[in-house]
Amino acid sequence: MDLEQQDNDFTDESQYDVSVREFTTNNSDAICTTNNCTFELNNGEFRGNTFSAGYVLTGELVAERPSQTNEGETFSTINEIRVDLDRMSATESGGIRTEYLTGSTDVAGREYLILGNANFTENEATELKLVGVDMSPLSDTN
């Protein structure tokens, strides 16, 4: 994952591990029609947002689901995402600064609330954990 930030919290050489802890969809959702998908972010970039003093996260949200007919086979859907994340609060403990982030994005025509915890440490890899919640009305499903 590539990183950029103006105020030296991290640099281009830093590694930032992104995990999608949970992404809640509903069964008729174009992202995960079976509601038993695993999610990951590919080709992600997390950088400072100079306009809002928050962050921008971009990448490919990959939803992988098992085949309902062929055991061991999986299917994936890939959606490009861009999320503006605002800092809601921050804590520091044991040399690790944790920022609590929130934003929203459109994925496959549906609105998702994105919550994140970003951990920053000096001279060590940092981590971003994401939770996505489908905020679209149920009547919008196909």
pLDDT digits 0-9 by tens, 47-80:
887 777 788 888 999 988 888 888 889 988 899 9
Total count of domains within the chain: 1
- Give CA–CA dist 102/97, Å, rounded: 16
pLDDT cut 70: percent of the chain above it: 78
Tokens of 65: 């689901």
* pLDDT for res 28: 53
Token pair listed for 27: 């069964």
Which amino acid, 90? A
What is the amino acid identity at position 133?
V
Q: Write out the two tokens for 86.
A: 């605002």
Does residue 82 have a pLDDT over 90? yes
* Domain around 6: 2-140
pLDDT range class, residue 3, cuts 50, 70, 90: very low
In our burial notation (b when 16+ CB lie closer than 10 A, e otherwise), range 89-125 reads eeeeeeeeebbebebebebeebebebbbebbbeeeee
pTM: 0.74
Task: Provide the CA 41 distance to its chain's centre, in angstroms.
Answer: 7
Give the integer Cα–Cα distance in Å for 55 and 70. Answer: 41
